[in-house]
Amino acid sequence: SQTIHQWPATLVQPVGSPLSLECTVEGTSNPNLYWYRQAAGRGLQLLFYSVGIGQISSEVPQNLSASRPQDRQFILSSKKLLLSDSGFYLCACQRGPATNEKLFFGSGTQLSVL
């Protein structure tokens, strides 16, 4: 089964600073990859998904971007963080391309923007 490595586990950043969260996957090839943000009262919000290298779809207009430089690497970035970017970020992996496969989640990154 898939294993997802996500780091760092916690991060405190000042407003206006850059961000880079990395997610790597083991145990599968050509997975679908996702970035979700979990905010209190808002559940899991899909931010980005990718079906292959260099293929990124954005779900929500925002201050963030994503990249997939390698098959099993998914990066979430920002050039300048906002206070509203605070939250719990989860990377998820799914054996593609079938859509009935379950998601495997990373352990998440708690981001606090101060």
For another protein, which is the closer residue by CB, 81 or 109? 109
Q: What is the 3-state secondary structure (H, E, C) of 72-84?
A: CEEEEEECCCCHH
For another protein, which is the closer residue by CB, 49 or 81? 49
For another protein, which is the closer residue by CB, 24 or 94? 94
CB of 79 to another protein, least distance (A): 26
Contacting another protein within 42-101 (CB under 8 A): 42-46, 49, 51, 57, 59, 90, 92, 94, 96-101
| Contact residue for another protein among 32, 72, 85, 89 (CB under 8 A) | 32
Q: How far is CA 40 from its chain centroid?
A: 17
Residue 35's contacts (CB-CB under 8 Å, 6 or more residues apart) are 23, 46, 47, 48, 49, 66, 74, 76, 89, 90, 91, 92
For 21, counting Cβ atoms within 10 Å of its Cβ (0-12 exposed, 13-18 middle, 19+ buried), the class is: buried
Residues binding another protein (CB under 8 A):
32, 34, 36, 41-46, 49, 51, 57, 59, 90, 92, 94, 96-103, 105-108
